[in-house]
Structure formats: structure tokens, C-alpha cells
Structure 1
């Protein structure tokens, strides 16, 4: 099997770019392509990251933010993350082990046509006539801005049953992957990866209820009122302006992200959090 590998290096990171160049030189028997920004840095041809959806494997070199970007762009292609960040919940491979790990993954693909990996749920946020790009970490619904005078009244329903309604800066719905991100900063619980759950967490609510952990198959509805403008945001990037009263439905998306390579030691990564 002829294996096609896409390589995406963290923008403006010379260490990541140098490792990308090393991988290109090392993977002589694979068809390798790099993202356009990296291509300029290492003087080679590049392609849009979105075109790497046609590859058999994409290597993300950088922090978790780089991998989130790759996951948005590269469709269902398995991703192997090389960690150059501080914590690395999604990137399990160290730079020193990157060449061997990628070579092993390519050899497995060549020999079997498949690759071992674990699937991570993503969230789909949708309203009347629209939907956002799937979120690996979280979907947030909030008012025009954080703080005094900028929130909205948001009712939370789970499978049609009301859990809470309060004026709040916003409400976030997180996957287990996203429990360590925005959710944690808002006082939400940590959830071990692989748990079939979602987290619902109010942000600075006037009449707050505790963060709620629900089954991954739950249908979550966020009804927004009491504000002139509100927003639904997927992983901090994909955004939809709302005109309250408006309703946002959040559920697990049909297309998960597949992480290739070794698993991150979740508890070891937690020790690196400040």
C-alpha cells in the first residue's frame, strides 16, 4: 500500500518546522506533504491542510491547539500528535520519539491498510437553518460579552427536561477531551478520557446549579433570551451570531476524531497544569 502522510507544524515554531523537514527526509517510502506555512519556512511545496483529508495519516507537530486546528481541517483522517507544548493532553509523542512513532505508523498502514487509534467524540451545535463545525473540546453559548451587562438568560434542557435557567455569562457543553480546557477554567469537573459522558457548565450564573455530567447520547437544548445579541461558538473558532430568543441544540456529532499512536498518560499530564 502506498501511504500518504500530511505534516502540519505549529505556525512560526522553528523547532516544529525543523522536525517536519526531518520527517520528510526520513519517510522516503511515503508520499509526504506539508501545510503551506511550513512549506515556506522549509523551502518546499505545500498544500492546504484541508486537502490532507485525502491522506492516510496526518502528523500534527506543536501543542493541543495545533491538533485542534488539524482536526477541524483534515476530516476523518487519523492524526498523530507530536507534543511541543507545555501539557499535551492530545499529543502523546515526544519530539525525540517522533521519527520512530511516525515510521511505525506508516509501516502499519503499509502492511495492514489500517492504523490503531482511539476515537474522540465531537459536538455538533445547530439551530434553525445552521450548524457549526464540530467541536472536539466544547460548544459555548454566551451573551454579547463577559461581565456585567453582557450576559443572557439561558435555559438548559436535557432530553426535554429542564435542568436550570438563569442569567449567566454563558453555558458551555464539553466533551471529556474538553474537560481540561475551558470547562476546567470555569470550575467544571475533570472527566477521564474515554468516558461516555458530556459536561454542562454554567458560566457566572446568577442562580447557579452545579456542573452536570450527562450521558453522551443526551440531547441538550440551550434556549437563549433576555439579550439583544448572543453567540454560539465551537472550540473558540467557529461562531454563529444569535438573535434571541434563540435555541441551540447540542449533541454528539457523527464524525469523531481518530488519534493514532500511543495514548497520553492523562494523570501525568494533569500534573503539568498550573
Structure 2
């Protein structure tokens, strides 16, 4: 029998599913698992991927949350068969290095996106450089983000950013409610690009940075780049992988 480690969010439905599946299939410590089964929603899947980053086992999610874009359908039967037949997607996270007004340096990883958001009543003013070259001297907006293909249907899509094919070596740079330049909607960047946001007038126009819901307030500079040396392995039922889901989102 496959060595499975079950992990679940605090939601009652996830906890109930964990109890049922553990009794039926057994469970092992995360360090001994051949596969990790995450029960919850997309937020919990992201937490699980971050928490198990150093472990060799892939993660197979079953939806006990709401949207469940990164999850498979929940069924109690045939789990071993589903795991054996699952297709694997390998994704790389973004690294965020954020500097705050007091000089502190903060680091975090993001599987979906790194976003900068205004933290006060006035719009943020951002300066954007790519690979050391100034590309936009002033963006006045509610915020901006850099998204991976895996995260392109999340916050990025809500901000009218493009959906990126999962195998594409590109990142989406998307503005949120851009006031100036009025017609600027963002850019597609090579995966190798290093994006730097400098906050203009941070005392008057405070900005926070967020990497997969891990936030840093009062930032003055944020550096973002893809980490090809870090991989996350996600399992999906055949025909329901990220590539298919990303395509499907564009024809809804």
C-alpha cells in the first residue's frame, strides 16, 4: 500500500474527510510519505506546498474548500488507483525580497504571485525596473503584481491580467486600477527576468507587499524573480491537470 500522509485544513469538511480517509487508508509522518494528500481549498494547498517544499513527496489535493483550482475532486473510493494514475506538474515559485522603511530585509516565496498594494487612502506610486533597466518611471495605481503561470488565473486574472499556459517560460506583470499611465495594462516578461519595484514617496503613500498571503508592510523596494532551483510537484487526475484547467478558464 502507498505510504500516504494526510494533511487537512481546519475546515470541518476537511477534518471529517481526513478522519475517514486516515481510517480507511492509514497515514504516515510527512517525512516518510511517498505522496502527500492535502484536504482543503486552494489556500491550504499553497500552505502545504510551502510547508513540504524540502520533502521529496509530491502533493495530491482533494477539494474540501470552495474554488479548488489546484485540487482534484473529493472521492473516498479508489484513492490508491487515482494516485497511481495521477499526472504530475512541476512548478517554480517566485522569490520576494522586500525592504521596509526601517531598513529591514524580508524574504518569502510565492507559488501564485507577489503583489504590491496601496496601504493608505492615496494611490501607490511605483517605479518599475526589469533586469536593471528602468521600464516605467511612475505607475500610479492601487497596486501591481507579478504572477506565475500557475497563479495567472488567481489574483492576476481578477486584475484583468493574462492567463499563461503552464509550460510557458513567461511571467505576467499586471497593474491594478492603473490611473497613470491610463492605458497601461501590464507586460509579459521572460521567466528569467528580475523585476524591481521602487516605492515613490512611501511616507505619504504607504505600500505593502504580499507573497501568497504573507505580507510585509511599509515597503520601499521589492525584488522579484523566479526560482528555478526550487520545484513543487503537484498531482492531478488524468485530463484535469493545470494545463487543461488553464485552457478551460479561457473558454468559460
Q: Identify the structure with bigger relative contact order (alpha carbons < 8 Å, sequence gap 6+).
A: 2
1:234 is the counterpart of 2:234: no
CA distance in 2, matches of 1:8, 1:119: 20
User: Which residue number corresponds to residue 211 of structure 1?
Assistant: 186
CA distance in 2, matches of 1:182, 1:58: 26
User: Which residue number corresponds to residue 82 of structure 1?
Assistant: 62
Deviations 1:52-95 (A, max 9, x none): 3664322111221221121222224421011234543211x222
User: Which residue number corresponds to residue 191 of structure 1?
Assistant: 164
User: Which residue number corresponds to residue 45 of structure 1?
Assistant: none
Residue 252 to residue 159, structure 1, CA distance change in 2 (3 Å): same
Residue 101 of structure 1 and its aligned partner are, at CA, apart by: 3.6
CA distance in 1, matches of 2:223, 2:162: 22
**Map of 1:145-156 to 2, 5 A cutoff?**
145=120, 149-156=121-128
Deviates more, 1:210-219 or 1:73-82: 73-82
Give the length in aligned residue pairs.
Answer: 236
TM-score by length of 2: 0.81
Residue 8 of structure 1 and its aligned partner are, at CA, apart by: 2.0
Residue 177 to residue 95, structure 1, CA distance change in 2 (3 Å): same
Residue 118 to residue 267, structure 1, CA distance change in 2 (3 Å): closer
Residue 255 of structure 1 and its aligned partner are, at CA, apart by: 1.8
1:32 is the counterpart of 2:8: no
Secondary structure at 2:108's aligned position in 1? Answer: coil
RMSD: 2.8
CA distance in 2, matches of 1:12, 1:270: 27
User: Which residue number corresponds to residue 251 of structure 1?
Assistant: 225
1:158–1:220 CA contact under 8 A, matched in 2 = yes
1:177 is the counterpart of 2:155: no
TM-score by length of 1: 0.75
User: Which residue number corresponds to residue 11 of structure 1?
Assistant: 10
Residue 233 of structure 1 and its aligned partner are, at CA, apart by: 0.8
Residue 131 of structure 1 and its aligned partner are, at CA, apart by: 3.5
Q: Which runs of 5+ in 2 are unaligned?
A: none
Secondary structure at 1:184's aligned position in 2? Answer: helix
Residue 135 to residue 71, structure 1, CA distance change in 2 (3 Å): same
Residue 9 to residue 120, structure 1, CA distance change in 2 (3 Å): same
Q: Which runs of 5+ in 1 are unaligned?
A: 34-51, 109-114
Residue 99 to residue 255, structure 1, CA distance change in 2 (3 Å): farther
Residue 53 to residue 130, structure 1, CA distance change in 2 (3 Å): farther
1:270 is the counterpart of 2:246: no
2:166–2:246 CA contact under 8 A, matched in 1 = no
Residue 169 to residue 188, structure 1, CA distance change in 2 (3 Å): same
Tell me which protein shows more helix as a share of its residues: 1
